[in-house]
């Protein structure tokens, strides 16, 4: 599906407004993920504004360089700001910050959320849409799931190592005109994009990968996906963790296909060795997304009366590391 045949309902006021001009997109927390997808949306003709903290000066002056599978790319955002307050109200506000506990996402984005702003949750984990929906009960929330390997190599520089597919769905379910519009933009920008009427199921599918590869790659000392799979015992550990997540997903009404583990492993093997986000954070001594990936899975297991013995133990090891680093 290319951009011109997107089945948008032009008579819908929101969509006609979106069609009138280049859609305005605000990316909050523009790290590797936000920069990579922001560049694609800009290629599709959107007016992309990016919010940065540490990289602000660098990106304002030089833009973002992406060393992509498709070659070197340069992305100069429409505007570069260092706080949400400085941005105009967008049509789509994309939340791309690392999902760390205690981060008041709703309050951070509130200054830029206009009455018709659609909020796109591009973060990792489970249950990230709910608090935003509570804070903005009248707003449309889109869940966006990126299946991509990215690494921020230095301020304003992103390395794109594999994949790139993004999956979109309206929270809590359904495919809205806004979802279709965003889909058309991603596709026009060259990003493989799928829509789903069950983003929760897509989140579980992604969590199966994340909850296995992320903690193992970190606890094993910051190793790549391929280093884990190079040893049959490493693969076995990954399979066990994935199995625990799949069981909980099923109990939550999301039976995932039996082939999912093999498919995840095959997809991981078919691309370059990758340091997961958690491995990158571990090696850099940065906080890791422990709670949103593992803590949320454990909470979900608890609510349906299941246990995840291995995942829980691995969560404890990572939390013990975190407690040490907080000392």
Which of 224, 228, 230 is closest to 272 using CA atoms?
224
Which is nearer to a second copy, 140 or 289 (by Cβ)?
A: 289
Asked if 47 and 198 count as a contact pair (C-beta separation under 8 A), the reply is no
Distance, in Å, from the CA atom of 137 to the CA atom of 262, rounded to the nearest integer, reads 39
Q: Are 52 and 75 in contact (CB under 8 A)?
A: no
User: Which residue, 193 or 318, has its beta carbon nearer to a second copy?
Assistant: 318
Judged by beta carbon, residue 10 or residue 233, the one nearer a second copy is 233
Total of residues contacting a second copy (CB under 8 A): 27
Q: Provide, rounded to whole angstroms, the least separation between the CB of residue 149 and a second copy.
A: 19
Shortest spacing between CB 132 and a second copy, in angstroms:
29
**Closest approach of Cβ 265 to a second copy, in Å?**
16
- Which residues between 119 and 148 bind a second copy (CB under 8 A)? none
Name which of residues 23 to 42 contact a second copy (CB under 8 A). none
Residue whose CB is less far from a second copy, 156 or 234: 234
Which residue's structure tokens are 């523009």? 30
* Shortest distance, position 321 Cβ to a second copy, whole Å: 4
Min dist. Cβ of residue 291 to a second copy (A): 13
Closer residue to a second copy in complex, CB, 106/220: 220
Within the chain, residue ranges assigned H as helices are 13-20, 32-43, 56-62, 105-109, 129-135, 177-188, 199-219, 225-229, 232-251, 260-269, 277-284, 290, 296-303, 309-326
Q: How far is CA 34 from CA 3, 39, 85, 245, 267, in A?
A: 21, 8, 18, 27, 23
Print the binding letters for residues 207-246 with a second copy: x by CB under 8 A, - otherwise.
Answer: ---------x--xxxxx---xx-xx-xx-xx--x------
H helices, E strands: number in the chain: 14, 10
**What is the pattern of x (binds a second copy, CB under 8 A) and - over residues 291-320?**
------------------xx--xx-xx-xx
Angstrom distances, CA of residue 153 to CA of 95, 137, 265: 21, 38, 26
Instruction: Work out the number of other CB atoms within 10 angstroms of the CB of residue 272.
Output: 11
Comparison of 110 and 231: residue with beta carbon closer to a second copy: 231
Residue 50 near residue 58, CB atoms below 8 Å: no
Contact between 288 and a second copy by CB under 8 A: the answer reads no
**93 versus 212: smaller Cβ distance to a second copy:** 212
Site residues (vs a second copy, CB under 8 A): 216, 219-223, 227-228, 230-231, 233-234, 236-237, 240, 309-310, 313-314, 316-317, 319-321, 323-325
């Amino acid at each position: 599906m290319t951009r011109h045949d997107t089945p948008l309902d032009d008579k819908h006021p929101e969509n006609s407004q979106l069609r009138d001009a280049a859609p305005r997109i605000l990316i909050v927390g523009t790290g590797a993920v936000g920069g990579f997808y922001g560049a694609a949306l800009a290629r599709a003709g959107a007016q992309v504004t990016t919010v940065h903290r540490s990289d602000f000066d660098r990106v304002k002056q030089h833009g973002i360089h992406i060393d992509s599978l498709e070659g070197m790319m340069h992305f100069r955002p429409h505007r570069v700001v260092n706080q949400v307050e400085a941005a105009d109200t967008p049509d789509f506000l994309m939340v791309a910050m690392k999902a760390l506990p205690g981060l008041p996402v709703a309050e951070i984005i509130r200054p830029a959320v206009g009455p018709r702003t659609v909020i796109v949750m591009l973060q990792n984990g489970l249950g990230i849409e709910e608090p935003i929906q509570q804070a903005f009960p009248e707003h449309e929330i889109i869940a966006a799931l990126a299946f991509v390997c990215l690494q921020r190599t230095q301020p304003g520089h992103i390395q794109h190592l594999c994949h790139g597919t993004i999956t979109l769905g309206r929270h809590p379910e359904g495919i809205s005109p806004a979802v279709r519009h965003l889909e058309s933009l991603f596709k026009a920008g060259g990003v493989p994009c799928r829509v789903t009427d069950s983003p929760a199921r897509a989140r579980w599918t992604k969590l199966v990968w994340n909850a296995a590869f992320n903690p193992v790659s970190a606890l094993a000392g910051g190793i790549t996906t391929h280093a884990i799979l190079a040893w049959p015992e490493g693969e076995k550990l990954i399979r066990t963790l994935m199995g625990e997540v799949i069981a909980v997903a099923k109990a939550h009404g999301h039976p995932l296909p039996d082939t999912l583990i093999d498919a995840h492993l095959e997809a991981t093997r078919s691309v370059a060795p990758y340091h997961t986000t958690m491995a990158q954070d571990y090696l850099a001594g940065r906080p890791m997304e422990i709670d949103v990936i593992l803590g949320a899975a454990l909470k979900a297991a608890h609510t349906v009366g299941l246990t995840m013995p291995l995942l829980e133990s691995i969560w404890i090891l990572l939390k013990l590391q975190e407690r040490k680093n907080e000392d």
